[in-house]
């Protein structure tokens, strides 16, 4: 199943409000692409605060270690096998990022895609009424694209 498309109603995520703007970052701690995207996810979290939530496909202890290792302070919700939240969102690769507004998908980016992540940051900033800074740029040490 492909990921939910813009305009689609979002499934519930335990502990995450559906009203207002939310950005969901789906990841797995052993995923190398998730590891390189974690500091960028943290930049988004710093710009959006509690509106940014990680959905980790690992047990709590591993999510906490990942946060410590990569400097991630965002809230992380566990989504362990059989991955009910990931399945409901149609996750086929991690990392994947969803921008949500009042229970509707607004944008989606799969894998590490600099242009996509910057687009998501700009869209989320627009929705909350605060211009967002770019989260990645040429010369920052990250590739323009890396599959998950």
Average pLDDT of every residue of the chain: 97
**9 CB contacts (<8 Å, ≥6 apart)?**
103, 104, 105
pTM above 0.75, yes or no: yes
DSSP state of 87: H
Stretch 82-95: mean pLDDT: 98
Q: For the domain bounded by 27-129, which CATH number is listed?
A: 3.40.30.10
Which contacts qualify for 131-139: CB closer than 8 Å, 24 or more apart?
Answer: 132/44, 132/47, 132/48, 133/43, 133/47, 135/40, 135/43, 135/44, 135/47, 136/40
pLDDT digits (tens, 9 = 90+) for 43-88: 999 999 999 999 999 999 999 999 999 999 999 999 999 999 999 9
């Amino acid at each position: 199943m492909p990921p939910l498309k813009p305009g689609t109603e979002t499934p519930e995520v335990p502990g995450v409000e559906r009203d207002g703007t939310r950005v969901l970052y789906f990841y797995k701690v052993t995923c190398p692409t998730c590891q390189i995207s974690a500091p960028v996810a943290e930049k988004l979290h710093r710009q959006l605060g509690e509106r940014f939530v990680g959905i980790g496909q690992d047990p709590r202890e591993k999510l906490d270690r990942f946060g410590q290792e990569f400097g991630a302070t965002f809230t992380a919700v566990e989504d362990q096998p059989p991955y009910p939240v990931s399945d409901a969102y149609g996750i086929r690769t991690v990392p994947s990022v969803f921008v949500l507004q009042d229970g509707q998908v607004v944008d989606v980016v799969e894998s590490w895609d600099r242009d996509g992540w910057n687009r998501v940051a700009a869209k989320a900033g627009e929705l909350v009424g605060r211009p967002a800074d770019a989260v990645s740029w040429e010369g920052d040490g990250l590739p323009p694209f890396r599959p998950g």
